Amino acid sequence: MCFIAEENERILGFACSFAYRGGGVFKDTLETSVYLDPESKGRGLGSRLYETLFNHLGNESIHRVVVGIALPNEGSVALHRKFGFEDIGIFDEYAFYKDKFRSSLWMQKKMG
């Protein structure tokens, strides 16, 4: 499920949910992703997108929602904490991007 914010035919951001690791034994767990165009940050758009997404997820049988946030990203970490996500661990330097190893913070939100 994805929700997209647009203005004048330009994508400002999106919030999506999808099956974690393809479902199966993880069928009650979803992963989310949120992205904002750098020029669109600080306007409450991320919160509005997540509110819309979680309002729609409320109708589904979900036990946990997880997210991986590439670090550093204070804004995204703050947004997820605002929506009730808790830290569960860091994948340390596990991805190589733009000539550098990157880490990510993994968070989860307890649902129903």
Structural domain boundaries of the chain?
Answer: 2-110
Cα dihedral 9, 10, 13, 14 sign? positive
Number of H-type helices and E-type strands within the chain? 2, 6
What topology is assigned to 2-110 in CATH? Aminopeptidase (3.40.630)
pLDDT in tens, the chain (112 residues): 999 999 999 999 999 999 999 878 999 999 999 999 999 988 999 999 999 999 998 767 899 999 999 999 999 999 999 999 999 999 999 999 999 999 999 999 999 7
- Residue 22 has a pLDDT of 86
